[in-house]
Amino acid sequence: MTVPAVIMLLVTGQRLSELVVDRRNRAALLAQGAREHGRGHYPWMVLLHAAWLAGLWAAALRSPAPGVEPAWLALLLAMQAVRLWVQATLGRRWTTRILVLGGVPPVRSGPYRFTDHPNYLAVAVEIAALPLAFGMAGYALVFSLLNAAMLAVRIRAEDRALGRR
C-alpha cells in the first residue's frame, strides 16, 4: 500500500467517524429542542466533500508510488489538531449541520476566542493541503474555489442562525 493510500485511509476514517459523532450529537440536540438552519445547502456540501475525497482516492490509487510533500502533509496534520480542538471545545454541540439551541449562547472559548469559524478555516486549508501534498495543484485550486463558494453560503447561514447578522 502506498503512502498516499495510507493517508487517504486515515483521512477517510476520520471523516466517517465524524459522521458517527454528528449523528449522535444531532439526535441529542434535536431532542433538546435545537433547530436546524441551512438545510438547503447541506446536501451540496456533502456532495462537495464526497467528490473531493473520491477524486483524491482515485489519484492515490492511480499512481503506484507517488511522492508526498512533507510541508503540505505537516500543514494537513496541523489542521487536524485544530479540528480536534474545535470538536473538544464544542463537545456534544459539535455537528456537521447548523443546529442552534434557543437561549444558549454561542461558544466563545477554545479556538472560538480567535475566530467565529475555526473549523471552516481548518477544512479550507485541508481541502488545499491534501491534494498539494500529492502534487495536485490544479485539484487543490478547483476544490478550494468550490469550497469558498460553499463557505460563503454556509457562513452566512450560520451567522444568521446565531444572530450575528
**CA–CA separation, 129 and 151 (whole Å):** 17
Provide the CATH topology of domain 3-161.
Four Helix Bundle (Hemerythrin (Met), subunit A) (1.20.120)
**Span between the terminal Cα atoms of the chain, in Å:** 49
Residues of the chain with pLDDT under 50: none
For residues 6 and 75, the answer to whether their CB atoms sit within 8 Å is no
Provide the 3-class DSSP secondary structure of residue 35: strand
Residue pointed to by grid coordinates 447561514 = 157
Measured CA distances, 42 to 82, 100, 150 (Å): 22, 15, 9
> Phi and psi of 101, rounded to 5°?
-90, 120
pLDDT computed for residue 165 by the predictor: 64
pLDDT computed for residue 164 by the predictor: 80
Q: For residue 45, how many C-alpha atoms fall within 13 Å in the half-sphere facing its CB?
A: 19
pLDDT computed for residue 64 by the predictor: 60
Closest CA to 112 of 103, 104, 121: 121
pTM of the predicted protein model: 0.93
pLDDT computed for residue 66 by the predictor: 62
